[in-house]
Amino acid sequence: MTRPRVPLAERVGPLWSPWRVVISFGFVSLAVDMVSDGGRSLAGPLLGQLGASALVVGLVTGAGDAIAQAFRLVSGPWADRTGKYWTFSLIGYAMTAICIPLLALAPAAGGAGLVLASALILGDRTGKAVRSPAKTVLLAGAAHAVGRGRGFAVHKSLDQLGAFLGPLLVSAVIAVSAVIWPAFAVLAIPAALAMVLLIWLRTRVPDMSVYEPLAEAAAPGAASEIASAPSRAKPARLSARFYSFAAAAFAANAGLVTFGVISFHLSDSGLVPLPVVPLFYGAAMAIAALAALASGFLYDRWGPVVLLAVPVLIALVPLFALSEQLAAVVVGVLSWGAAVGILDSTVKALVADLVPSGRRGTAYGIFAAFEGVGAFVGGALAGALYDQRPLLSAIVIGLQLVSMLLLAITVWRHRRQRRGGEEAPPQPGSP
């Protein structure tokens, strides 16, 4: 005699509090960012040891950042259509957990080492693109109940703690071993831990839509993959405010020098020994965590005007981070970290506020595509003009002026809409 099926939501026990979910997701990100950012902190020196020039480093790391953003244009809508947000999250995290430790094999691959390392770096970034829209939709559901600015800020601070600890770990391994490949191999440990934590969280809270208000939980695409089939209603259009914000993000990222180029500069110029290079990345990630936390809380208090600091921070990076003076490089690296922290946290809170809940996966995908194309332009620009730094700085400043103007337009439109000066966003099914 077969036993009746018990719904999964009833089998997993009582519902967690939204803060517990946000913090648990933060620890997953902490572990996986030890892997991803531990690897990224050494991408430039690794590629350089395998024979890459500054231009090649800029193209590979820029293409990686572009894929990490632009492929979300596919993965975001795909996650919305299927509702399988957990599945996309699991696959994306697994790609990073596999690709980064395998970079340990690149120095032993002979002439194919550069190709192998480039492919694995791009594989890690593709994994980020696969998981990010789906993970952000899941997180946005729980964060709604605690304040999206605060929720994203706390999650990002834990995420950035992992991004700080990863470079410390690989730096210690290089200092002991005097070679680079064991630093990647040891990252298999936090990679395995991240996957165990994520699977555990998935079993405990399979449906994040329960944290949304009832009206939003019923919107198309808000339910998880264990809920009913997605609605066939025509989805709401994305607003002009959203697209002006996306254009601002493109200009900002087009001027953001990749850390691959910065780490190549640190190693190639001989400013610091190789084991110290990851420490610069770790310091940048520590600043990113503080910037994400501060900007998130200020976002809830002051609104999106806090994002106007991003173009200023980005404009400082090539002026300082590519200097021949170590003190100036420190200022540039910290500016880079603060900009990255805000771009990867508080920016997402504004995207969530600009679009209907059932379109968030799609919106994050489109927004990330703008960021990704900008990131590729930024990586290529920094690599190509590495030896012409005054020209590079001038171009970056021009791009940030454009970004600031578009951000100001977005903030003005958003405030008008919140005061009721514009019509409400179109509802699902409206023409």
Q: What is the pLDDT of residues 251-280, one digit of tens each?
A: 999 999 988 889 888 988 888 888 888 899
Burial (CB count within 10 angstroms: exposed 0-12, middle 13-18, buried 19+), residue 23: middle
| Mean residue pLDDT across the chain | 82
| Residues in CB range of 377: below 8 A, 6 or more apart | 62, 253, 254
Contact 182, 172 (CB under 8 A): no
Closest C-alpha among 23, 64, 73 to residue 40: 64
pTM: 0.69
Taking every pair of Cα atoms in the chain, the longest distance, rounded to a whole number of angstroms, is 78
pLDDT of residue 422: 46
| Residues in CB range of 60: below 8 A, 6 or more apart | 43, 47, 52, 118, 121, 122, 260, 379
Distance in angstroms (rounded) separating the CA atoms of residues 146 and 143: 5
pLDDT of residue 235: 56
Contact 97, 5 (CB under 8 A): no
Judged by DSSP in three states, 235 sits in coil
A 10 A CB-CB count for 319 gives 19
Classify domain 15-212+235-418 at the CATH class level.
mainly alpha
Dihedral of the CA atoms 25, 30, 36, 38 (nearest 10)? 180
Spans in the chain with pLDDT lower than 50: 1-14, 214-233, 422-431
Judged by DSSP in three states, 178 sits in coil
